[in-house]
């Protein structure tokens, strides 16, 4: 592993611990330290399984499950969960289980994803220790950071669906459920298209509005869940701290827009009619620029 990474990973871990401990102020009670540690333990277990089956790409299958673990462990340490806390946990569990189950059904038993197979060759005899840090621990940390805004709302809100913040909370939930609609329906439309045996681009349904309705949906989900943070007004969480958790939807959006989408579009470009499709249909946001 590059020597610089030995420094970067501990720093990233410490910063994330700082986030979980609300600025290194609370190390057990009134913090998210336990959900953070449990999330890392979960990805460590997936790492062990991956070494047994010799397939590091299974980490992608359990990405959604990481949020399920994080939200449930947060609920476990919440003394008096509000109805909003229960709604958020139920939503995340529904979303996370569906995502992981879909990926497991699609990928289990297949060869290791080409990206991870290439890294396995590049890392040589250091593949185990390198994969632990560069694949599993990094994904565990990012998983927690993305979920942290929602976990904060679950743990600390005292919301009762009364007063003006209700408008923002309900708006956030509607945004999140709209995102879930795009993700579920987009995936199902694509599944049926592939099952039909058509060797051409999917350009109907939600795929006519955006080239990646599932990615658009996921961005809406985390943006919507963040907006529900208005429920924290009047709680013990300082608004400045919650403002810093905007990193949650921003990181997810950046990963999907800058990393996942270009990789997928490189694969999609081999299909006939790709250039015409890009000129007719926005990349992710239905109101966005085409091509």
Mean pLDDT for each consecutive 10-residue tract of the chain (291 residues)? 71 92 89 97 98 94 97 96 97 97 90 89 91 94 96 95 93 98 95 85 92 96 96 87 93 93 87 90 88 64
Instruction: Say whether both 256 and 281 belong to one domain.
Output: yes
Residue 98 lies in a domain: no
Assess if residue 56 is contained within a domain.
yes
What pLDDT was estimated at residue 264? Answer: 87
Indicate the number of domains in the chain.
Answer: 2
Residue by residue, what is the 3-state secondary structure of 205-220? HHHHCCCCHHHHHHHH
Residue 204 and residue 144 share a domain: no
Residue 97 lies in a domain: no
Residue 48 falls within a domain, yes or no? Answer: yes
Q: What is the pTM of this model?
A: 0.92
Instruction: Tell me what pLDDT residue 109 has.
Output: 84
DSSP state of 288: S
User: Is 90 contained in some domain?
Assistant: no
What range defines the domain where residue 19 resides?
A: 1-82+116-148
pLDDT, residue 43, reads: 98
Residues 23 and 135 in one domain: yes
121 found inside a domain? yes
91 within 8 A of 184, measured Cβ to Cβ? no
What local confidence, expressed as pLDDT, does residue 1 receive?
54
pLDDT score, position 2: 62
Q: Residue 261 burial (CB < 10 Å; 0-12/13-18/19+)?
A: middle
Identify whether residues 124 and 231 lie together within a single domain: no
Q: Is residue 89 part of a domain?
A: no
- Same domain, yes or no, for 144 and 2? yes
- pLDDT of 5: 67
In a shared domain, residues 126 and 166: no
Same domain flag for 167 and 42: no
Q: Do 137 and 181 reside in the same domain of the chain?
A: no
Q: Are residues 67 and 11 in the same domain?
A: yes
pLDDT value for 210: 95
Q: What angle do CA 13, 14, 16 make, to 5 degrees?
A: 65
Cα 239 to Cα 83, 129, 245, 246, 251, distances in angstroms: 21, 39, 10, 11, 20
Measured between its terminal Cα atoms, the distance across the chain in Å is 38
Tell me, yes or no, whether 121 and 201 share the same domain: no
The whole-number pLDDT of residue 211 equals 95
């Amino acid at each position: 592993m590059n020597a610089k990474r030995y420094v970067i990973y501990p720093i990233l871990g410490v910063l994330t611990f700082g986030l979980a401990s609300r600025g290194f102020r609370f190390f057990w009670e009134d913090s998210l330290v336990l959900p953070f540690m449990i999330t890392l333990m979960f990805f460590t277990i997936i790492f062990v399984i991956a070494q047994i089956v010799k397939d590091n790409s299974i980490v992608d299958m359990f990405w959604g499950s990481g949020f399920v673990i994080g939200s449930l462990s947060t609920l476990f340490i919440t003394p008096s969960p509000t109805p909003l806390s229960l709604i958020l946990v139920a939503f995340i569990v529904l979303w996370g289980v569906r995502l992981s189950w879909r990926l497991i059904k699609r990928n289990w038993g297949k060869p290791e994803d080409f990206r991870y197979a290439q890294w396995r060759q590049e890392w040589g005899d250091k593949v185990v220790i390198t994969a632990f840090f560069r694949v599993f621990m990094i994904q565990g940390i990012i998983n927690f950071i993305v979920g942290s805004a929602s976990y904060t709302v679950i743990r600390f809100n005292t919301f009762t669906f009364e007063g003006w913040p209700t408008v923002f909370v309900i708006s956030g939930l509607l945004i999140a459920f709209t995102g879930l609609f795009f993700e579920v329906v987009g995936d199902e439309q694509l599944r049926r298209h592939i099952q039909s045996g058509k060797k051409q681009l999917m350009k109907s349904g939600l795929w006519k509005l955006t080239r990646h309705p599932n990615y658009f949906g996921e961005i809406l989900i985390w943006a919507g869940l963040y907006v529900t943070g208005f429920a924290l007004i009047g709680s013990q969480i300082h608004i400045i701290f919650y403002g810093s958790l905007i990193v949650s939807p921003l990181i997810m959006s950046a990963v999907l827009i800058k990393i996942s989408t270009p990789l997928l579009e490189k694969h999609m470009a081999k299909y006939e009619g790709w250039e015409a499709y890009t000129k007719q249909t926005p990349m992710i946001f239905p109101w966005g620029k085409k091509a």
